């Protein structure tokens, strides 16, 4: 199964200068960690760069790239072969964690979408607009800003019965 997880602001901004547009949103990170830990995650090379090429622990990190040298160990797999991941996803779960290019590549194959919507308009240079008319909203929880989360935010979950 393919699941996607993304956080965006009111304009669907997901990135700025190869970082996130916000400096902290503690509960978003917590949710990200809770959902993805112990699973396969798939990211684009630029997102990998944004982590200073550090793998996210306790997860198998798949990095899509046509420029990085192929590298396989138990927790970092660099590949340019999307079909290889799609085939593996028939028997195991993959979490697509961004960025924008990678969300667009996988969205049609995904059946679950976890969004954190941040109630702010921030400076961004990378955006993601899921094709929400294909998705059915299954859950929505709203939270106010607090000391660890400088903006109001919502966790929204979507489901798609079949791939598009
Ligand atoms: N808010 C969020 O939830 C969230 C999540 C993740 C990332 N981000 C942000 O998003 C931004 C990065 O996103 P982005 O869209 O610019 O880049 P990206 O999707 O992370 O990475 C793009 C790279 O992926 C590789 N790639 C793309 N299509 C491919 C294909 N068909 N086959 C093989 N490799 C392929 C290419 O790497 P090569 O050039 O090496 O070939 C391409 O340059 C950053 O600002 C990051 O902080 C935000």
Alpha-carbon span 92 to 85, nearest angstrom: 10
| Residue 14 CA, closest ligand 1 atom number | 1
Residues 115 and 130: beta-carbon distance below 8 Å: yes
Q: Is residue 162 part of a domain?
A: no
Q: Tell me, yes or no, whether 160 lies in a domain.
A: no
Q: How far is CA 129 from the centre of its chain?
A: 13
Residues 32-90 pLDDT 10s? 999 999 999 999 999 999 998 889 999 999 999 999 987 767 899 999 999 999 999 99
pTM value?
0.96
In this structure, the residue with its CA closest to atom 25 of ligand 1 is: 65
Contacts of 135 (CB under 8 A, 6+ apart): 113, 158, 159, 160
Inter-residue contact 135 to 6 (CB < 8 Å): no
Q: Is residue 161 part of a domain?
A: no
pLDDT per residue over 86-142, tens digit each?
Answer: 999 999 999 999 999 999 999 999 999 999 999 999 999 999 999 999 999 999 999
Q: Does some domain include residue 134?
A: yes
Whichever domain contains 141, its CATH number is 3.40.430.10
List, chain by chain if needed, residues with CB within 6 Å of any ligand 1 atom. Answer: 6-8, 14-15, 18-20, 43-47, 50, 64-68, 80, 82, 97-102, 105, 126
Domain with 30 in it: 2-154
């Amino acid at each position: 199964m393919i699941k996607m997880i993304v956080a965006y602001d009111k304009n669907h901004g997901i990135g700025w200068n190869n970082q996130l547009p916000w400096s902290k949103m503690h509960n978003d990170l917590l949710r990200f960690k809770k959902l993805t830990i112990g699973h396969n995650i798939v990211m684009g090379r630029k997102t990998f760069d944004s982590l200073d090429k550090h793998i996210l622990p306790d997860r198998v990190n798949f990095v899509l790239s046509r420029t990085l040298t192929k590298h396989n160990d138990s927790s970092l797999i660099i590949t340019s072969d999307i079909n290889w991941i799609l085939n593996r996803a028939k028997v195991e779960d993959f979490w697509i964690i961004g960025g924008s290019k990678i969300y667009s590549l996988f969205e049609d194959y995904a059946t679950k979408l976890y969004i954190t919507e941040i109630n702010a308009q921030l400076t961004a240079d990378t955006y993601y607009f899921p094709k929400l008319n294909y998705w059915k909203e299954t859950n929505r929880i709203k939270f106010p800003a607090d000391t660890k989360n400088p903006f109001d935010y919502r966790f929204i979950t979507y489901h798609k019965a079949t791939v598009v």
